[in-house]
């Protein structure tokens, strides 16, 4: 009982330390110009995705042929497309589509890559070599060809887009976890656990996993812009979400069909992609520098 009470006391003492570290990292991120710009743009994208139904002035799928290809005005801030649909409303709802696809795919990829990377790094060498071969095989596949194959097999839709993104992300994430495990498993605190006959799951999930999560989350934050762009690209090519679902890729695809008449739909679909890419890239870079000050000093010299 005394040991349990002392363990609980230690946990209570550790919680403020963890919270203070999170606050310190956020302060460090926001203290740099790039981090501040990135955080502001990320908050803008997240806020738009969360409150999209209330921010959109019109239903995103409402057709009004009489106002097709209208120029930007007070009634339609970004104009309308070839079917008279309000482009601002479609961009706002498309933000929710982009973030929901990206976060869902990222969560699945992280959940799959963590155990695979732990097993590859801590397991026997033959298993490590086999898993690296599988990772290399998936990494060598062109994403467009993989997307085409899955569309033929499963049909276009959100599920197909998420599956393509998951298969794209898992190899790189698992490799990063494996590299972290290989660098950690020869350290003294891991050898001490092995000497005390600690079980493999205990070593993996209580000692190796917490040290591998940090770099993985930084990579995931940096990859969010790539994932959003990949979803838009697949939708632009007709391999992603269905045309009736508002998404940035669908807006771009519809805009290129009428580009000779007006460039407004292309601008409306491309601008949020630029904002999201800049925001998540700047924020991820600032977060990496905050968690690894040595890297930040090395890059500044």
Structure confidence by residue, pLDDT tens digits, 108-128: 999 999 889 888 888 888 888
pLDDT band at 272 (very low <50, low <70, confident <90, very high): very high
* b/e sequence 21-41, b meaning 16+ C-beta within 10 Å: eeeeeeebbbebeebeebbeb
* b/e sequence 117-142, b meaning 16+ C-beta within 10 Å: bbbbbbbeeeebeebeeebeeeeeee
Q: Tell me the CB-side half-sphere exposure of residue 62, using CA atoms within 13 A.
A: 15
Burial class (CB in 10 A: 0-12, 13-18, 19+), 275: middle
- Asked whether the whole model's pTM tops 0.95, one would answer no
What sign for the dihedral angle of Cα 254, 258, 260, 264? Answer: negative
* Per-residue model confidence (pLDDT) at position 19: 66
Nearest to 161 by CA among 89, 217, 87, 108: 108
The CATH code of the domain that includes 271 is 1.10.3720.10
| Residue 236: domain span | 12-300
Within a 10 A sphere around the Cβ of 69, how many other Cβ atoms?
A: 15
Tokens of 29: 């991120």
Our count of domains for the chain comes to: 1
What digits encode the pLDDT tens for the residues 126-143?
Answer: 888 898 888 888 888 777
* b/e sequence 164-199, b meaning 16+ C-beta within 10 Å: bbbbbbbbbbbbbbbebbeebbeeeebeebeeeeee
Is residue 146 within a helix (H) or strand (E), and if so which, with residue range?
helix 143-154
- 205 part of a folded domain: yes
- 4 part of a folded domain: no
Rg (CA), the chain: 23
Q: What is the mean pLDDT of residues 12-33?
A: 68
- 20 part of a folded domain: yes
Residues in the chain: 301
C-alpha span between 217 and 196 (Å, rounded)? 31
C-alpha span between 255 and 68 (Å, rounded)? 12
- 5 part of a folded domain: no
- 168 part of a folded domain: yes
Q: Does the structure show a pLDDT above 70 at 174?
A: yes
Contact 94, 75 (CB under 8 A): no
Q: Which of 32-36, 158-162, 205-209 has the lowest mean pLDDT?
A: 205-209
Long-range contacts of 270-273 (CB under 8 A, 24+ apart): 271/91, 272/45, 272/91, 272/94, 272/95, 272/98, 272/248, 273/228, 273/229, 273/232, 273/248
* Per-residue model confidence (pLDDT) at position 244: 80
Nearest to 119 by CA among 206, 178, 53, 185: 178
- 6 part of a folded domain: no
What digits encode the pLDDT tens for the residues 245-260?
Answer: 899 999 999 898 888 8
* Per-residue model confidence (pLDDT) at position 8: 42
- 81 part of a folded domain: yes
- 7 part of a folded domain: no
């Amino acid at each position: 009982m005394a040991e349990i009470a002392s363990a609980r006391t230690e946990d209570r003492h550790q919680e403020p330390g963890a919270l203070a570290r999170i606050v310190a990292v956020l302060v460090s991120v926001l203290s740099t110009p790039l981090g501040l710009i990135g955080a502001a743009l990320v908050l803008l994208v997240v806020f738009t995705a969360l409150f999209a139904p209330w921010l959109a002035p019109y239903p995103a799928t409402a057709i009004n042929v009489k106002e097709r290809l209208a120029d930007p005005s007070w009634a339609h801030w970004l104009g309308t497309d070839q079917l008279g649909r309000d482009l601002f409303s479609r961009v706002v709802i498309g933000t929710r589509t982009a973030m929901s696809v990206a976060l869902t795919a990222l969560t699945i990829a992280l959940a799959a890559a963590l155990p695979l990377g732990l097993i590859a790094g801590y397991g026997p060498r033959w298993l490590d070599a086999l898993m690296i071969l599988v990772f290399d095989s998936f990494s060598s596949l062109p994403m467009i060809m993989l997307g085409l194959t899955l569309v033929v097999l499963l049909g276009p839709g959100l599920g197909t887009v998420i599956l393509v993104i998951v298969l794209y992300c898992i190899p790189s994430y698992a490799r990063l976890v494996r590299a972290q495990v290989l660098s950690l498993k020869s350290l003294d605190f891991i050898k001490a656990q092995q000497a005390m006959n600690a079980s493999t799951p205990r070593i993996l999930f209580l000692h190796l996993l917490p040290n591998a999560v940090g770099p993985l989350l930084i990579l995931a934050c940096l990859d969010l812009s790539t994932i959003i762009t990949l979803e838009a690209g697949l939708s632009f090519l007709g391999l992603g979400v269905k045309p009736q679902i508002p998404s940035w890729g669908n807006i771009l695809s519809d805009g290129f069909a009428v580009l000779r008449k007006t460039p407004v739909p292309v601008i409306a679909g491309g601008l949020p992609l630029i904002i999201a890419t800049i925001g998540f890239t700047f924020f991820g870079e600032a977060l990496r520098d905050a968690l690894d000050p040595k890297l930040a000093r090395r890059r500044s010299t």
